[in-house]
Amino acid sequence: MFSRWTLVTLLGLALSGAAKSSTGDSVLVVLDSISDKDNFSQFFNGLTDKGYDLTFRSPKDAKPTIIEDDVAQFSHVVLFSPDSKNYAQDITPQSLVTLLEKGSNLLVALPSKKQTIITSLAPEFSLILPPPGTPLVSHFPERDTPVTVVPVTPPSSNPILTPNTPPVWFSGVPFAYGNNPLLVPILNAPAESFAADSGSDSGADAVVEAADKGGEGLWAGSQMGLVAGFQALGGARATWVGGVELFSDEYAQKELPQGVKPGNTQFTSDVAAWTFQESLALRIDNVTHHLVGETGPRETYTINDNVVFTAHISKYNSGKSAWEPYSGITDMQLEFTMLDPHIRTSLPPATGNPGEYSVTFRVPDRHGVFKFIIDYKRKGWTHLQSSTVVPVVPPRHDGYPRFLSAAWPYYIGAISTSIGFVLFSTLWLAGDDREANKKFAKTTKTE
């Protein structure tokens, strides 16, 4: 009996130790009221089943705090509290940004009716919100739900989402994207939808009115976002969702107009996996460089050397909770820069060695302090950045070839001058000698 218990405990420990995310498994969920927990039970149970450790809290609770002694207390924070206007002292727009800087991930549901700290945080992420109280409205397709409960087809080519996810039920506010390159659109509004002042069947006038009121132009069409990710420079991810109902059990079970199950369960699980850095997480394990024909790196390279640069890259596998070599990047580039890139070349995966990317190139005919730079940024994927400084020097005094064929005219010039000098000196000296003898002979005659 005892041994069986020990086994169960050990098994439990082993399972709970399996971190699902590449950055940790503690999650703080902030809900308007803790009893709302049951409205999202499928989503939360999905996270618990994956191995996440969920802590629930209401916005006004003082404990547990999100940051304590300057240390983030949770790896991930879920803010499903759209109706709360007041938050405890530790949840402010500044503290949420700090949290991202410290590497925690954020999943935030936007309020649809009120102005709260969340609506004032959104512009920091380059999201432009419509005036309060203008939810997404669509009259298509024909269905028996209110016009504000809209089925939206997820994009088929977004790497964050499972391909062919069925349409998802959405209700909430749309937003416009600012021009921040760190934004990652995940779900856009249907082309025939618009943001309108009221949920009632209002028609075109309401759209124009809302556009006038907002001063932002027309709030309509598929350029509006409903779910968007944001990847901070430090690698932390924040996802913004126009309405918390997307995650609810009710929507996960609500039949689509075609009479099939909606994609909400799959979609919300994909969105959480991306936000919590389970999916599309990459890292550079190490980079090395050496001369062709050598194995170790040199402290300096000489101009025109042939150099091999190699990087090892891994991708996180959440199924195994492990980093694995990844050779799937085909569009990575390497730059060899001194102020400007002197060389920019593709850095392709090396065949036969998983996770290895390698390129051989000739160092330019310039000396100075150069850097090998990898700067790989693709929407949705972790940004890969690496910089390795290496000095490039001119050849040493004895590093040049002894004879150059191009210099033969100079060699011939020098040799012919030397020969000419010797000839001339010989002739001169010899000639002078004869002259002196003649003179000497003359003088002896006259005397």
- As a whole number of angstroms, the distance between CA 305 and CA 327 comes to 27
Distance of CA 446 to the CA centre of its chain: 110
Interface with ligand NAG (CB under 6 A), residue total 8
d(CA 76, CA 184) in angstroms, rounded, equals: 18
CB of 84 to ligand NAG, least distance (A): 11
Q: Report the C-alpha gap between 414 and 168 in whole angstroms.
A: 87
**Paired tokens of 156:** 């088929």
Q: How far apart are CA 195 and CA 174, in angstroms?
A: 7
Give me the least distance between CB of 292 and ligand NAG, in Å please.
18
Determine if 312 is a binding residue for ligand NAG (CB under 6 A).
Answer: yes
> Using CB under 6 A, which of 355, 359, 370, 382 touches ligand NAG?
355
Closer of 133 and 297 to ligand NAG (Cβ): 297
* Residue 288 interacts with ligand NAG (CB under 6 A): yes or no: yes
Contact region with ligand NAG (CB under 6 A), list: 14-22, 213-221, 225-233, 283-291 = 283-291
Judged by CB under 6 A, the stretch of 56-64, 262-270, 281-289, 426-434 that binds ligand NAG is 281-289
Residues 27-66 that bind ligand NAG (CB under 6 A): 36, 39
Q: How far is the CB of 80 from ligand NAG (least distance, A)?
A: 9
Task: State the nearest-atom distance from the C-beta of 231 to ligand NAG, in Å.
Answer: 23
- Least distance (Å) from ligand NAG to the CB of residue 173? 16
Backbone angles phi, psi at 385, to 5 degrees: -135, 135
CA-CA-CA-CA torsion for 95, 31, 380, 163, nearest 10 degrees? 180
Kindly state the smallest distance separating residue 309's Cβ from ligand NAG, in Å.
Answer: 13
CA distance 442 to 447: 9
Exactly one of 101, 192, 255, 285 binds ligand NAG (CB under 6 A); which one? 285
Alpha carbons 149 and 170: distance in angstroms, whole number: 6
Q: How far is the CB of 289 from ligand NAG (least distance, A)?
A: 11
Nearer to ligand NAG, 36 or 209 (CB): 36
d(CA 305, CA 312): 23
Residues 103 and 237: their CA atoms lie apart, in Å, by: 8
Burial of 303 (0-12, 13-18, 19+ CB in 10 A): middle
90 or 249: CB nearest ligand NAG: 249
Residue 245 and residue 226 in contact, taking contact as beta carbons nearer than 8 Å: no
- The site string for ligand NAG over 212-231 (x = CB under 6 A, - otherwise) reads --------------------
**How far is 85 from 54, CA to CA, in rounded Å?**
23
Residue 286 lies near ligand NAG (rule: CB under 6 A) = yes
Judged by the rule CB under 6 A, the positions of this chain that interact with ligand NAG are 36, 39, 285-286, 288, 312, 325, 355
